[in-house]
Structure 1
Amino acid sequence: MAAAEKSIVTVDINAASSAQAPLSAAAIAGLARIRDLIEAVRQQTRRWVWIESLALIGLAGAAVFFGTMAFDWAVEPPAWVRVLLVGLALVGLVAMIWGKLWGRLAVSMGDATLASLLERGHVGFRDSLSTAVELSTGPAGDVDRRLLERTIDEAVAVVGDVEPARLFRRRRLVATALAGGLAVASIVGLACLRPAVADLWTRRMLLLDDTPWPRRTGLEAEGFSAGVRKVARGTDVDLRVRADAAREIPEVVDLRTRSSRGGPWRTERMGVRGGVAEGAQAFGHLIKGVNEDLDVEIRGGDARLRGLRLVVVDAPALESLECVALLPGYLGGGTRAVSASRVLQVPRGSTVSLRFRATKPLRAATVVTVADGVETRLAEVAGGSPGLPAQESASGVRDLAVELGPVEGEQTFVARFTDTDGLDNREPISVVLAAVPDEAPQVAMRMRGISTAVTPQARIPLVGIVSDDHSLAEAVATVAVKDGATVTVAVSRVEAGVPLVEFTEDRPEILELEPLALAPGAALSVQVAARDGCTLGGGPNEGKSDAWSLDVVTPEALMAMLEAREILLRRRFESVVSDLALARERLAAGLGGNAAVEGRAAGETGEG
């Protein structure tokens, strides 16, 4: 590449000398010296790029080698992590080779660029070098021969004083090259002096072998067979580790656990158990409530125990709970399935059937009710004896059924299982059966367009909603005359068995006052009441709306009241209009004053 560029420069200068002929022999010789100087700078620049790039690549390679070795020794990650590390390292090295070496070598170093570089390093050129290079390669008709020869002579006069090496920071290059050489030498030295270490790094990082690194500390986990230990689900597990006393005993042993399904590791410190006994020092830690398979790692000193697992074996537990409630007669008397939960809510007065199903065949099972701390046994199965209320299903699980009479209030039930292996359920299975009382109907009614006075012939429109948690039985409107009789009028649109009735604005319930023969001057209290069909103790539940107080007046008096209200509203409206007009006048007056002030200011400015 350098030879090709040199030939190109030679052709350019020769072409320039022929195009600008007749140039003096001294000028042609000067151009040749300039060519040799520029070529020398170009070659030295390329050597610099090669040396610096190779040194940096050596440093990066050593950093990758020792960094991955240290990380792998400290963590011993799985194979996929090592593949990721090696892949990232290769990508980084390729990017460095491309950016530091090939990318820089591919940059075009033309004569004009190098001439400018030389001028920045040697002020004596005073732009003569770059001028001579550019003019000697330009069109002959645009260049004055004598001016070109003078420029070449000025540049040649300085060429002899130029040392290309001074353009480069040699100390930096030497330091970088020395560091890169030492980095590569360190890798070679390790491979020669500790070939086992280099071989193990090669097998683990490149061949993905899982051979562990040698350690000074020896650890052994108790209770694991082929790396697996089975425990009962939900139990507390005591993990014990023995450190070989013949080797280095660690001061600290850490236990790392995580779910076998993945997730973050949890690290806990293991405590020392006594002193050295039987040639080993014991360490232990209690893991509370193991409910799933756990991956386990133990670290002490430089030793690592990996690939351990706690496998959870299910103790008997509740697989499903069926609750069926037979509703009271006034609710239809049908059955209703209740969703399984810790709290089972059924309508008050229901007869309830509970069926507990275990996850495993049972040897014994009991269901008790707890009241004020006292347990009362309701059902039991033991030894698979026939005639008991538990039976084995085709799938191999066992059911335990409990029948309860009409439910009042709240009861707590506890089920306990023992499977054929003698394992008890970790915690008693507790279920709360709550009787939900029948709530009173909700009456959200109001009068539409009625104030506080009505005539004896008034028709009062009532709008709103009447609802019940189960179903309504009836609804009535009660009109109570002060110091008089109380009249009840049925709300015809409320039918028995309907849970909700809505009275809209366009379809209200009309309460007729004319049939009541009310006299002017009477005071009324109007209220809507609704009842449900509850037949349990306490009778039907009743809900009431707000009570509305009304005065009965003559049509003339009502008209006078409306006129007085109209006059009052008109006066308020006129007051608002007056206030608005006054505010407008004040705003207009303020804007006019500002305009006058601005006019006077403009006139004074014009006179000046």
Structure 2
Amino acid sequence: MPTSPASSGYLDPRLTQLLEGLRHRVRRYVVWDSVLALAAVVLTAFWLGLALDYLPVVMGGTEMPWLARLLLLVVVAVVLVFIATKMLFGRLNRPLPDDSLALLVERHHPDLGGRLVTAVQLNRPGRDGDSHSAKLLRHVHDEAADAIDRVDPAKVFRLEPLIRKAMIVAPLLLMAVLMLVISPQAFGRAASRLTLLSDEPWPRRAHLEMVGVELPVVTAADNQNAEPQLVAFENKVVRLPRGSSGSLRIRAKADGDAELPVVCTVYYQTIPSDNASNANSAAGVVSSGQTNMRRVGRVIDGYQSFLLDGPPLASLSDSVEFYVRGLDDRLDGFRIEAVTPPAVADMKVRVRYPQYLQSDPVAASTGDRPDWDLESSYQSGLRVAEGSDVTLVATSSMPLGDADVMVKSINEQPVPFTTEYSDDRTELRLRINNFTNATTVSIVPRDVSGISAQAPYRYFLGVVLDEPPELKMKLIGIGSAVTPIAKIPVEASVIDDYGVQRLVVSVTPTKAGEEQPETGADDEVSLQVASRTPGIDRDGDAKTELDLRDLIANGELPELVPDDAINVIGEASDRYNLSGNHLTRSEIFRLQVVTPEKLLALLERRELALRARLEQTIDETRNLRDALSLLQRGFDSEKPTSTPDAEESTASDNQADTDEVRKNQVRRLRVQQSGLQASKTSEELSGIAASLEDLLLEMVNNRVDSVDRRERIGVGVRDPLRRIVEVPLAKLSEQIVDVERLIGDDEAAKSKTRDAVTTAEDVLLQLTAVLDKMLDLESYNEILDMVRGLIDDQDELLEDTKSERKKRVLDLFQ
């Protein structure tokens, strides 16, 4: 009978065999995992290093330098040592006790129920002092031995890490073997370069040569037929004027073993300089890019030419470092230095005006005046008065050797001019006498070394012909009729090229039956003329007031009686004196002279017209309210339909969506129409209020105003209309916009439509109240008409009574 497990440390051989086999499996797993990791690192480093070393050559670059390859080799060695130390030797040297292995088996076979761990730990040799039943321990031991057949050691191991590493190693290793079989020379070159055994470069297929930069020759005449000059590189450096637009030219060998590139590409990077003229250069901004060169012509003498006539050579602003790549060949280390050419840093225009434009006529007539009357910087669109003497003063950024200058008129005819330089040759003066035609001036400055600006500096000077003043005049608060004691406010706006000398506003009486003189007539009016000369501000605006009562009292105008007329006209003149005078007359405002009663009657008729406009506006607002109410009822009338069956719902989804979109479009159209109507109502009410304001102002100016009438029209009608426009109508417009925005959300749109209907009702109530006020005013005006009629009848009766009494007195003497 076997010895008790509790006392002798006996462990079933089957359990011992299981644990020993598992221990060997763990060590083999560690070895395979480490070997695959080392192989993955080596193969990845090989292909990565090959890509970094060879792909730049294929793309026209250079091989990886020796220092970079050394760094890659050191990194790979360090990683391999780390993996071997930590993953291989470190894990192999770790002990694998039986209880740990048993616990590992128990974790993947929970059906053992802890029997294996218990049997292994309690049957460990030399273990004593445990208080347990030997019979129970033996029973557990036997159960663990019996269940050992159900244990699968392979389940303990996770194969995913090995598979992932194998998926990396296998393709990389297969590609390495294929490369070795297909191209052993390339494999050997790659291995020797990556292991620092060789520095032999990779072979190239193409061969490129640098030719130079073609630079166009620029003249003031802008001769497009001039042949460009070729500037060659010296020590891979060429100096070009800043702002030039040269063309880079190279050539590629097209015979022998050399392969002709399909395209050559220029890779460039700008080098900002301290004296750069553009903002990016001044800020130190470096720009880089690439551009393709285009083929030029065919193969000549075994070479194909390529040309670059765009960036970075177009409008060169900074120095540029660049290299050219064609297939796998490369022209490296070239540099274009941007040299600042002479430039016209400032252009001033000095003008000596003709005599009639001089600010001091006395000095102008005697010739005691400076060399110029105006000096300003040149601006595009500058125009000079005809007959002036013009001097252009060009300031250069550096001393000039000479300058190519061309001056021609707008009809391409040469214009005589003279030039002179300052002592330091930084200033060029160009003088044109008796400037009569629009002229173009072209200047190409050159420095002492012959470097010139790469584009002519062109300046256009136009001619200004003195035009008569432009006069606009209007009467403020005056209609077509005035009373004999009216005051006539006048506002005028007069504009002239060189300032207005005089502005006169005149009023001329015209007796009944006389014809109105035509505007601009030169015949003098035989009747008295009262004039005012208002002051003109710097904007050309002037205001004055013609008070007929004061003019008659002062004797400037004769007594005005009803049925007479007055003409109000403005005249403006400037100082032009070369060929006649420039005089501009405004339109003639013909005003009928009426009695205050007739003027009030005219104003009352205008009030009736405004009332009719208000009634029409109220009708339109009522239609607006009805349209909004109809829209609201449309929301209320739509009831949710019953839920159809699944088959019916699927069949009618497209039709339902189409109907919903059409319904929303119709609603949106109606809401937009309502918004337009609200805007029209607001504008119409604003116009009525403005017309009422004109009525009040006209009454004030004609001195027929009264406080009661002003309050009835202003406070009772005009001010409420303005408040309606500013508050409820503005609110209604906002609500209509909200309704349009909410189309599609029936509940929200219905609520907002209800608010809009309420606001429209409020607008109608307020407009109706204003209309009632205007009706009261009409009734008041009718009463006034009746009173005026009674007064007229009374006057006639008094006149008849006086006549009858006079007749009776005369009869007594007969």
TM-score (structure 2 length as normaliser): 0.49
Taking the aligned partners of 1:246 and 1:585, their CA distance within structure 2 comes to 93
Aligned pairs for 1:35-434 within 5 A: 61-62=45-46, 64-75=48-59, 118=108, 159-161=150-152, 163-164=154-155, 168-169=159-160, 174-179=166-171, 193-194=189-190, 197-198=193-194, 214-222=203-211, 223-230=232-239, 234=244, 237=247, 239-241=249-251, 243=253, 247-252=257-262, 254=264, 256=266, 258=268, 260-261=270-271, 262-271=287-296, 274-276=299-301, 281=303, 283-285=305-307, 287=309, 291-292=315-316, 293-311=319-337, 318-329=344-355, 330-332=357-359, 335-341=373-379, 344-357=382-395, 359-362=398-401, 366-370=405-409, 372-379=411-418, 390-391=420-421, 393-394=423-424, 397=425, 399-415=427-443, 428-434=456-462
Q: What is the SS of the residue equivalent to 2:288?
A: coil
Could you tell me which amino acid in structure 2 is paired with residue 353 of structure 1? T
Aligned partners of 1:534, 1:81: CA distance in 2, in Å?
83
Deviation at 1:555, TM superposition (A): 0.7
What SS does the aligned partner of 2:303 have? strand
Q: Which amino acid aligns with 1:483?
A: E
The one-letter code sitting in structure 1 at the alignment partner of 2:328 is D
Aligned residues of 1:361 and 1:419 also touching (Cα < 8 A): yes
Match of 1:513 among 548, 551, 568: 548
- Offset of residue 263 of structure 1: 3.1
CA shift, 1:305, in A, is: 0.5
1:440/1:543 contact within 8 Å kept: no
Q: What secondary structure sits across from 2:599 in the alignment?
A: helix
Distance in 2 of aligned mates of 1:341 and 1:116: 95
Matched residue SS, 1:472? coil
The corresponding residue for 2:515 is: 483
Report the RMSD for the aligned CA atoms in angstroms: 6.1
Q: Distance in 2 between matches of 1:132 and 1:444?
A: 116
TM superposition shift of 1:69: 2.6
Contact 2:417 2:432 in 1 (8 A): no
Distance 2:431 2:627 in 1: 86
Q: Quick check: 1:370–1:414 contact (8 Å CA) kept in 2? A: no
1:226-249 deviations in whole A, cap 9, x for unaligned?
A: 112345674755724363856524
SS where residue 500 of structure 1 aligns?
coil
Contact 2:481/2:591, CA 8 A, preserved across alignment: yes
Shift of 1:35: 11
Give yes or no for contact 2:15–2:148 (8 Å, CA) kept in 1: no
Q: Which amino acid aligns with 1:562?
A: L
- Aligned residue for 1:521, secondary structure, equals coil
Farther off after superposition, 216-225 or 288-297: 288-297
Structure 1: give runs of 5+ residues left out of the alignment.
1-24, 95-101, 103-109, 119-124, 134-144, 204-210, 380-388, 599-608
Distance (Å, rounded) in 2 between the aligned partners of 1:130 and 1:436: 112
Q: Which amino acid aligns with 1:256?
A: V
2:59–2:328 CA contact under 8 A, matched in 1: no
Give the corresponding residue for 1:106: none
> 1:466-500 CA distances to partner (integer Å, 9 max, x unpaired)?
45454332222244656265746224232xxx532
Aligned-partner Cα distance in 1 for 2:395–2:463: 23
Identical amino acids, percent of aligned pairs: 21
Match of 1:448 among 451, 476, 481: 476
Distance in 1 of aligned mates of 2:607 and 2:378: 63
Contact 1:317 1:417 in 2 (8 A): yes
Displacement of 1:459 in angstroms is 1.4
Does the CA-based 8 Å contact 1:468-1:499 persist in structure 2?
A: no
Q: Deviations over 1:36-75 (max 9, x none)?
A: 9999999999889867776766665455433333442244
Deviation at 1:224, TM superposition (A): 2.6
| Aligned residue identity for 2:233 | F
What's the CA shift string for 1:336-391, capped at 9, x where partnerless? Answer: 22323565433444321123455553257555434633335523xxxxxxxxx533
Pairing partner for 2:581 from 539, 564, 567: 539
1:410/1:584 Cα in 2 relative to 1: closer, same or farther (>3 Å)? closer
Say whether 1:555 aligns with 2:596: yes
Cα drift, residue 290 of structure 1 = 5.8
The Cα shift of 1:557 comes to: 1.0
- Cα distance change on mapping 1:581 and 1:76 into 2, 3 Å: closer
Change (3 A) 1:469 1:324: same
The one-letter code matched in structure 1 to 2:237 is V
Moved more, 370-379 or 31-40: 31-40
Mapped partners of 2:630, 2:329: distance in 1: 93
Q: Could you say which residue in structure 2 is the equivalent of 1:500?
A: 539
Contact 1:59/1:179 (CA < 8 Å) preserved in 2? no
Q: Residue by residue, what CA displacement relative to the aligned partner does 1:560-588 show, whole Å, maximum 9, x if unpaired?
A: 22233334444655676688789989999
Structure with bigger gyration radius: 2
Give TM-score, length-normalised by structure 1: 0.62
* Greater alpha carbon shift after TM alignment, 223-232 vs 176-185: 176-185
What is the number of residues matched between the two proteins? 518
**Contact map agreement 2:469 2:582 (CA 8 A) in 1:** no
CA shift for structure 1 position 559: 1.2
Query: What is the Cα deviation at residue 254 of structure 1?
Result: 1.9
Secondary structure, counterpart of 1:176 in structure 2: helix
- Cα gap change, 1:332/1:178 in structure 2, threshold over 3 Å: closer, same or farther? same
Q: Is the 8 A contact 2:57 2:63 kept in 1?
A: no
CA contact (8 A) 2:349 2:375 kept: yes
Q: Could you give the per-residue CA deviations for residues 81-116 of structure 1, whole angstroms, max 9, x where no partner exists? A: 9999999xx99xx9xxxxxxx9xxxxxxx99x9999
